[in-house]
Amino acid sequence: MLLLGVLVGALALAAVVPGASAVSSTPPPVAAPTPLPVDTDADYQLGGVRPVPARVGIVVRDRRAEPVPGRYNVCYVNGFQTQPDERAFWRARPGLLLRDGGRPVADEEWGEWLLDLRTAATRERLARIVGRWTRGCARSGFDAVEYDNLDSFSRSHGLLTRRQALAFARLLVRDAHRAGLAAGQKNLPGLRGTRVGFDFAVAEECGRYRECGRYAASYGRRVLAVEYRARDFRRTCRTRGKAWAVVLRDRDVSPRGVRRWC
């Protein structure tokens, strides 16, 4: 009886004394995402890495690249379409590609297949894959993630809807925040992205298509603007350059391509 009493007392002590248990079932809390900085320039390096000038405080790189020490690093993830060099990966996962008559539906301009977002079950399967990439960004030291091709439903020949895309976007934003990363909206101007949970936007060619104001309505100064034509770049610098990070890049965002700031 004495031995039993000692054991019961030890268990009770472990239940109330911090650190008495060797293993905790509660994971450590994740730090809140760091907001996108303002009053600095940004570089958009998706096609390959290059040295970063001192004036640049924000760098966007592919999820397979290394972040830049001492800068705010945004991890590029193609969240709604496939990368052209990952077709074998997606072929090996049946039921995740959007198909029309048995053939994958493609974004012909970029040679990318669209992901099938039509059912909640498939969206969850896809979110598990993209979520692994997102957690990889966090482990590598990125501060934020941008999910490309939110507007892929507009290229789906009517097979996908805006509602389905936003339902999937909420899953991706959830996973980004759980990993401690800020989440960036890419494409679909006019969306009140903060209602989905996005923290900032990457606005491609908003000067060319007169869409910059629609991003500003949701995100204020927390917008990165990327232009690919010099005249559009000049326009965006004139109208948004004092508030936003605006960069001119070549369309291939290559390591030796065009790179200018306001």
What does the pLDDT look like over 96-118, one tens digit per residue? Answer: 999 998 899 999 888 899 999 99
Q: Tens digits of per-residue pLDDT, 248-262?
A: 999 999 999 999 999
- Name the E strands within the chain: 41-45, 56-62, 72-77, 99-100, 103-104, 106-107, 112-113, 144-147, 182-186, 200-204, 223-227, 245-249, 259-261
- CB atoms near residue 133 (< 10 Å): 18
Q: Are the CB atoms for 186 and 202 separated by under 8 Å?
A: yes
pLDDT recorded at residue 23: 45
| pLDDT score of 30 more than 90 | no
- Give CA–CA dist 146/185, Å, rounded: 6
pLDDT attached to residue 79: 96
The DSSP call for residue 160 is S
- How does 50-84 read in b/e, with b if 16+ C-beta sit within 10 Å? eebeeebbbbbbbbebebbeebbbbbbbbbbbbbe
Give the pTM: 0.88
Read off the pLDDT of residues 142-185 as tens digits, 9 standing for 90 and up: 999 999 999 999 999 999 999 999 999 999 999 999 999 999 99
Report whether 181 contacts 137 (CB < 8 A).
yes
What confidence tier does 3 reach under pLDDT thresholds 50, 70, 90?
Answer: very low
Tokens of 70: 């001492």
3-class secondary-structure state, position 145? strand
Average pLDDT, the chain: 90
Is 4's pLDDT higher than 50?
no
| C-beta of residue 259 within 8 angstroms of C-beta of residue 249 | yes
**pLDDT tens readout for residues 34-77:** 999 999 999 999 999 999 999 999 999 999 999 999 999 999 99
